Amino acid sequence: MATGAVTAPRPQASDRARRAATERSRGENRLGWKLVAPAVVMMLLVTAYPMFRALYLSLYKYRLTAPEDREFVGLNNYLAVLTDSLWWIDVGNTVFIMVVTVAVELVIGFAFAMVMHRLIFARGIVRTSILIPYGIITVVSAFAWQFAFSLNNGFVNGWLPLVGDDFNWFGSKWPALFAICVSEIWKTTPFMSLLLLAGLSQISEDMLEAAKVDGATWWQRLWKVIIPNMRAAIMVAVLFRALDAFRIFDNIYVMTRGAQGTESASFLTYRQVIEQFELGIGSALSVLLFLSVMLIAFLLVKLFKVDLAAARQEG
């Protein structure tokens, strides 16, 4: 009532202007949604809907080879997965690969970024080379490293000093995981280094110069000036790579097929659905995989306090 009393005596001209403004913003709103709608629908069509369907199917005992026998089992599929040591071994492998690859990539990627940042010659060549591992098909990278480590055709045993010529890298778990990590690290370090390079180029030269004048050593400048100032870039790079590494599938499929206990959570899910036709259990695994990724993303964002939307939106 009170507000009505206040607005009523306003002059008509401003009222009309305001109406025009809201009309305009409403139009802009409508146009905005019309333009983003196709993309949003397309993105959700293949993700949200199947995810809900996985949620639904995960409550059933459902083998694709015997669709008539489908029966409701409640949370039994989840129970079966979570009480099976295989799931935990696979999750352990996946987390191991994620932590190792991201840590190594961060160090090497940072070193590469520092070199590229300071480089005054051959910039085009470096940029081209660094994009080759990024662009190469993951399956090809996996083959290249599988052959490099292989007993029959690989040069690695011959080149490494402490390794015997007859050492079978794919014969036991940890060496096989090592080979998998090498392929993953080789292929994705360039991406990491480019993101870090972009962060590095944001740091003002004046600040570094000032630190130098004040007598800061190279090491001090690195830890007190450079790294704190590119926190955002490091966080974005780590978050993206960590979630990407958690989904590891291609390298494992090609290099070991999950043999010697090298399976990842993604590979287990794939195997249940596509090879075993266990859609019920497979769907439960899908949901668990999805929840794991959400959890990791949540933990990383909380841990690093990154405002991702802001980091992305600023552009």
Q: What does DSSP assign to residue 47?
A: T
Candidates 63, 249, 260, 261: give the one binding other proteins (CB under 8 A): 249
167 part of the interface to other proteins, by CB under 8 A: no
| 93 versus 141: smaller Cβ distance to other proteins | 141
Candidates 101, 191, 238, 306: give the one binding other proteins (CB under 8 A): 191
Six-digit token string for 314? 């600023």
Q: Which residue has the tokens 């890298």?
A: 169
Candidates 43-51, 78-86, 99-107, 216-224; binding stretch for other proteins (CB under 8 A) = 43-51
CB atoms within 10 A of CB 79: 12
53 part of the interface to other proteins, by CB under 8 A: yes
Candidates 22, 202, 204, 220: give the one binding other proteins (CB under 8 A): 202
Contact 306, 91 (CB under 8 A): no
What is the spatial distance between Cα 292 and Cα 257, in angstroms, rounded to a whole number? 22
Name the minimum Å distance from CB 10 to other proteins: 25
165 part of the interface to other proteins, by CB under 8 A: yes
Q: Phi and psi for 119 in degrees, rounded to 5?
A: -60, 130
19, 239, 271 from 89: Cα distances, Å: 63, 23, 15
What is the spatial distance between Cα 117 and Cα 113, in angstroms, rounded to a whole number? 6
Interface of this chain with other proteins, residues 126 to 155, rule: CB under 8 A: 126-141, 143-145, 147-148, 150-155
Candidates 77-85, 97-105, 172-180, 233-241; binding stretch for other proteins (CB under 8 A) = 233-241
Gap between the terminal Cα atoms of the chain: 45
CA 296 to chain centre: 10
21 part of the interface to other proteins, by CB under 8 A: no
Name the minimum Å distance from CB 189 to other proteins: 7
Nearest to 58 by CA among 72, 47, 69, 46: 72
269 part of the interface to other proteins, by CB under 8 A: yes
x-marked contacts with other proteins along 60-79 as a string, rule CB under 8 A: ----x---------------
Candidates 80, 104, 211, 311: give the one binding other proteins (CB under 8 A): 311
304 part of the interface to other proteins, by CB under 8 A: no
